[in-house]
Each structure stands twice: as C-alpha cells, then as structure tokens.
C-alpha cells in the first residue's frame, strides 16, 4: 500500500489531465443551425442509450498490446474504454424522452487512488425504441487520404466505404473527396441507390502524392456545405487517414478551425484512423467540437463490427452543450472524473466541479461518466461517512436537445449497497483505465519497470475476481500487459509478488 500511495501522489495531476473536460466553448458555437430532422421517434422499454462524443474505443491500445508492446498512456482515454461497453443504470423508471440522466454511488477504493472512498456514476439513457429506430436521411461526405503513406491501408478504407454503403438507405447520399497529389471531388453527391456506380468509384481510388489534409478537408467541407443547402437531413464528413491531424494550429486553414466552423453550420465530423495512434490530444480536441467523434480501425473485421453495430447511431447527434455541476456532499471532495472528453475543467469556490460535454450521440449502449469522492480531511481518517440511501454528491445539468430545445434537471448520486450493473462494471473499468495509465506512464516516463509491473499485477488480481462475460476482453488485455511487464521487470520464470487483500476494501495491494 505505501508504494501504491506514492504512485498515486506522483500521478494525481496526470490522471486529472487525462480525465478532465473542456469548458472553453465558443459562444457562437451555441448559435449552431439546428439539424433538420426528417423522422420522429417511438419510445419503449427496450430503448437505446447515449454516449459522449470524442474517442469511441481504445482499439489502437489493444492492438499494440496484442503485438507485444507497452503503448503510451496517451493512446487511450477513459471515454474510449467506456464507450465500448453497455453501462446501464436503471432507476425503476422508464426513460420516456430523448435523453434521461440518472445517478448512483457505491463504496469503493481505486488501486492507484487509495484515498477514494466512493465511486459514483452519472448514466446517460434514451427512451428511443431500439426496434423501430430509424436515423435521419444522411449525406455522407467521405474525405480520403490517398497519399503514399496509405500504401497497404487504402484497401481497408475502400472496404470501409463499401461497408458504409451497405448501411445507407436508397435516398441517402454519398460523395468522396480525395487528397494526395491533389485535392478534388472524386465522386459528386450520389444517391445510395446507385450502388454500382458508387462501388466503381470506390474501386478506382489509387495511391498518389503526399499528404495535405487541410487541403482535402477544405474541399470536403465546401462540398458538404454546398449540398446541405438543399438536402433535407443530416450532413456528415467522415475523414479516413493514417496521419495525425495538426491540432495545435488554430488558424483559418487548420483542421480544428475547419471542424469547429462546420459544426456551427450543422455539419458533424467522424475521424477514422487507420494504422496510426490517435492519442488523447486528438480525442480531446475532436470531442470539444460539437458533432465530433473518433474511431480507430485496426483491420477489416474490426471495421465491419463497428459499422454493423454502430453506423446509424455514430452519425446521430442527440444533445449538445451538456453542462454539469457536480457538488460533493458535506465532508467529501471530488478526486477524479472519468469518461468525459476534454482538457479543461473549472472548480467553484464551494468545491464543486463544472464541466461540459459538447455532444452526446445516440448509442446501442448506455453511456456513463464516473466521479470519485474522498474525505475532505485528506490523509486523515474520514470524519464523514455517508449512510446507505444518502447522496455523496449532487449534479445539476442543462443541455440543448437536437432540436435546440433547452432542458435542465438535477440528479442525486445516492449511495447504494446493491450497485446497478453499470456502476458495478464501472468499478472495474475505472480501476482498469487509471491503473493502465499509471503503469504505462511509469514504463515510458520513469523507466520504472518494476513499479509498472506491480501495478499491473495488482490490477490483474482484481480483474481475476470478476466473471462478467462482457468484460472478458478487458481481462485478456490486462493479463497480456501484465505478462509483458513481468518479462521487462525480470519476473519471467520466477514467482511474482502476491498481493494481499486490504481488510476494509478487499482490493489487492502490496
């Protein structure tokens, strides 16, 4: 425990940076033109969910671990991990609106933040009937990198475009913009019912030239705006690239400025990375733009799975500018926020935390963010113990629905001794993401292989307690990285340190 407490102290600032959210929203973004809805929705008990924008997976991190590497901590985000899972938080009342927000808390301690006493979940749900859901009419503007660096990856992009075509309705439209030797419209907006012509255009894409992403996006967004004027539905740019966009520039020709400007006109953007790490910096920047989300396709099977499960929802924006104020109960303090994309947060004088989610997307899974609470007395024994049935904190939120209708509500994070499925899963997922980041940071930034392994070994012991079948991929990921770090730390072929159980929390520690 002392060693883990030391790790926790050293890494606290980094963990906050990884899990914080941007509140710096341009005022004029709020004047974004409402989406022209073309369908209405039915509401039912078997409903869809909602999840924040930004990174929607940690596929690159998984891919690198499978390759025997220790990925850098900035190649994954909490929201990316959580978005891969269904995290339901039922309250006994059926959601009957486009968006419902619920809350619950449980007593918990985190491996790398042992000062934590309570973990709370804010759950996002939608009442939209999953069986009858039909998205709005869509114009998909594919912006494709065909530069020389895409050699060996362009076939994945072609198959992705054909797979996307399989999920378009006859009256949807698709267009293709290429950039490499030059930036140009390869396929003018074409109704999806003209499948043969579209497939021929896709197959004709060939590698040529160097990368100029800004030039390609300039053409793509111009085409999107022009066609959106007379298109009754939603227009979305989908960027396929193996290059990290330059998110540091904010001038008129930069990636971020173009995305932000288009979002004000109701044009969202999905960024799809192929063959390159898209780290936390990019995910953070994209998530700060209304209508922005980010995926990584490791291979064809991964791509087809994502499109089969999520294509219709990943292009459907549900709510915007979700502004949250989380206030801890008396005697407690907030020590971590997990699952909100962004790079800024704001503390109030009263110790509350203000944060904003730019976009909530419709999802086949129930989304969530998590908050950790500790005693306000710091390292001293907690003087405040929350009784079952009482809140560890309160949440005030306001947001704009997709038709620009403002909404507001309050949620209590009530302590339960029988946590819902989303919170029970969240306990393992929050421990996983914080421990993975702590261990990989020690490996890359401190060259502390022994410390990195011990954190992973403790996480492995914790994950071995769980039998949730939906977390099988997480256990596999943890065990692979644990074994790799064991080799690097010199424990291969030797008996490794065995964690004991904390008498209060039951968590494995050294």
- 3-state helix/strand/coil string of 204-232: CCCCCCCCCHHHHHHHHHHHHHHHHCCCC
114-123, 151-160, 382-391: segment of lowest average pLDDT: 382-391
Residues in the chain: 510
Q: What is the pLDDT of residues 311-354, one digit of tens each?
A: 999 999 999 999 999 999 999 999 999 998 655 678 888 889 99
Task: Inform me whether the pLDDT recorded for 8 exceeds 50.
Answer: no
**H-helix or E-strand containing 284?**
helix 280-287
The pLDDT value given to residue 470: 94
Q: How confident is the model at residue 182 (pLDDT cuts 50, 70, 90)?
A: confident
Task: Inform me whether the pLDDT recorded for 41 exceeds 80.
Answer: no
Report the C-alpha gap between 290 and 110 in whole angstroms: 32
Task: Inform me whether the pLDDT recorded for 42 exceeds 70.
Answer: no
- Paired with 183 in beta bridges are 179
When the candidates are 3.40.50.410, 1.10.287.3510, 3.40.50.1400, 3.50.50.60, the CATH number that belongs to 138-315 is 3.40.50.410
Q: Per residue in 469-497, is it b (16+ CB within 10 Å) or e — as a string? A: eebeebbebbbbbbbbbbeebebeeeeee
Helix boundaries (H) for 237-279: 255-264
Report the C-alpha gap between 433 and 223 in whole angstroms: 40
The pLDDT value given to residue 47: 84
* SS3 state at 177: strand
Q: What is the pLDDT of residues 480-489, one digit of tens each?
A: 999 999 999 9
Task: Inform me whether the pLDDT recorded for 145 exceeds 70.
Answer: yes
Q: Parallel, antiparallel, or unpaired: how do β-strands 138-145 and 173-179 relate? A: parallel
Backbone angles phi, psi at 122, to 5 degrees: -110, 115
For residues 245-274, average pLDDT: 79
Which tokens belong to 480? 């692979």
The pLDDT value given to residue 390: 97
User: What's the chain's average pLDDT?
Assistant: 84
1-10, 167-176, 447-456: segment of lowest average pLDDT: 1-10
Query: End-to-end CA distance of the chain, in Å?
Result: 5
Which tokens belong to 156? 């994945």
Task: Inform me whether the pLDDT recorded for 499 exceeds 50.
Answer: yes
For residues 448-453, average pLDDT: 96
The residue among 95, 207, 208 whose CA lies nearest residue 153 is 207
Task: Inform me whether the pLDDT recorded for 143 exceeds 70.
Answer: yes
Domain ranges for the chain: 2-131+319-509, 138-315
Q: How confident is the model at residue 149 (pLDDT cuts 50, 70, 90)?
A: confident
Q: Parallel, antiparallel, or unpaired: how do β-strands 391-401 and 317-328 relate? A: antiparallel
The pLDDT value given to residue 351: 84
Report the C-alpha gap between 177 and 192 in whole angstroms: 16
Comparing 143 with 151, the larger pLDDT belongs to 143
Q: What is the pLDDT of residues 270-281, one digit of tens each?
A: 989 887 666 666
- Paired with 326 in beta bridges are 353, 395
Report the C-alpha gap between 263 and 219 in whole angstroms: 16
Q: What is the DSSP string of 431-488?
A: HHHHHHHHHHHIIIII--HHHHHHHHHHHHHHHTT---GGGHHHHHHHHHHHHHHHHH
For residue 40, count other CB atoms closer than 10 A to its CB: 6
Report the C-alpha gap between 324 and 384 in whole angstroms: 24
């Amino acid at each position: 425990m002392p060693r883990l407490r030391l790790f926790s102290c050293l890494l606290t600032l980094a963990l906050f940076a990884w899990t914080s959210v941007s509140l710096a929203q341009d005022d004029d973004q709020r004047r974004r033109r409402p989406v022209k809805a073309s369908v209405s929705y039915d509401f039912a008990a078997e409903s869809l969910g909602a999840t924040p924008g930004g990174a929607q997976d940690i596929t690159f991190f998984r891919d690198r671990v499978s390759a025997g590497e220790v990925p850098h901590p900035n190649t994954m985000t909490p929201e990316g991990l959580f978005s891969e899972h269904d995290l339901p938080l039922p309250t006994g009342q059926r959601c009957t609106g486009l968006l419902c927000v619920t809350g619950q808390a449980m007593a918990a301690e985190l491996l790398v933040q042992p000062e934590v006493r309570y973990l709370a979940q804010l759950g996002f749900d939608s009442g939209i009937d999953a069986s009858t859901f039909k998205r709005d009419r869509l114009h998909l503007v594919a912006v494709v990198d065909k530069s020389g660096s895409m050699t060996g990856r362009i076939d994945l992009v072609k198959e992705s475009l054909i797979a996307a075509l399989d999920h378009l309705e006859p009256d949807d439209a698709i267009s293709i913009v290429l950039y490499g030797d030059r930036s140009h419209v390869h396929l003018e907006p074409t109704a999806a019912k003209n499948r043969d012509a579209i497939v021929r255009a896709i197959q004709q894409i060939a590698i040529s030239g160097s990368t100029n992403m800004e030039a390609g996006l300039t053409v793509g967004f111009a085409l999107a705006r022009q066609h959106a004027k007379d298109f009754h539905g939603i227009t979305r740019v989908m960027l396929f690239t193996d290059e990290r966009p330059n998110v540091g520039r904010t001038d008129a020709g930069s990636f971020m400025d173009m995305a932000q400007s288009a979002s004000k006109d109701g044009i969202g953007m999905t960024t799809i990375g192929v063959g390159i790490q898209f780290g936390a910096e990019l995910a953070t920047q994209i998530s700060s733009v209304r209508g922005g989300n980010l995926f990584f396709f490791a291979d064809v099977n991964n791509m087809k799975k994502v499109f089969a499960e999520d294509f219709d929802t990943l292009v459907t924006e549900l709510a915007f500018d979700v502004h949250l104020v989380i206030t801890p109960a008396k005697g407690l303090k907030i020590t971590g926020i997990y699952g909100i994309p962004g790079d800024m947060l704001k503390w109030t004088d009263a110790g509350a935390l203000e944060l904003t989610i730019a976009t909530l997307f419709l999802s086949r899974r129930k989304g969530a963010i998590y908050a950790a609470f500790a005693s306000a007395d710091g390292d001293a024994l907690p003087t405040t113990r929350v009784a079952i049935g009482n809140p560890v904190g309160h949440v005030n939120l306001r947001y704009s629905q997709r038709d620009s209708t403002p909404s507001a509500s309050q949620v209590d994070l009530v302590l339960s001794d029988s946590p819902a499925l989303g919170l029970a899963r969240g306990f393992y997922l929050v421990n996983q993401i914080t421990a993975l980041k702590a261990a990989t940071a020690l490996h890359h930034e401190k060259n502390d292989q022994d410390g990195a392994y011990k954190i992973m070994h403790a996480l492995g012991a914790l994950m071995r307690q769980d039998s949730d079948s939906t977390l099988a991929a997480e256990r596999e990921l943890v065990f692979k990285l644990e074994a790799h770090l064991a080799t690097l730390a010199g424990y291969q072929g030797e008996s490794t340190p065995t964690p004991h159980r904390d008498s209060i929390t039951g968590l494995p520690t050294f």
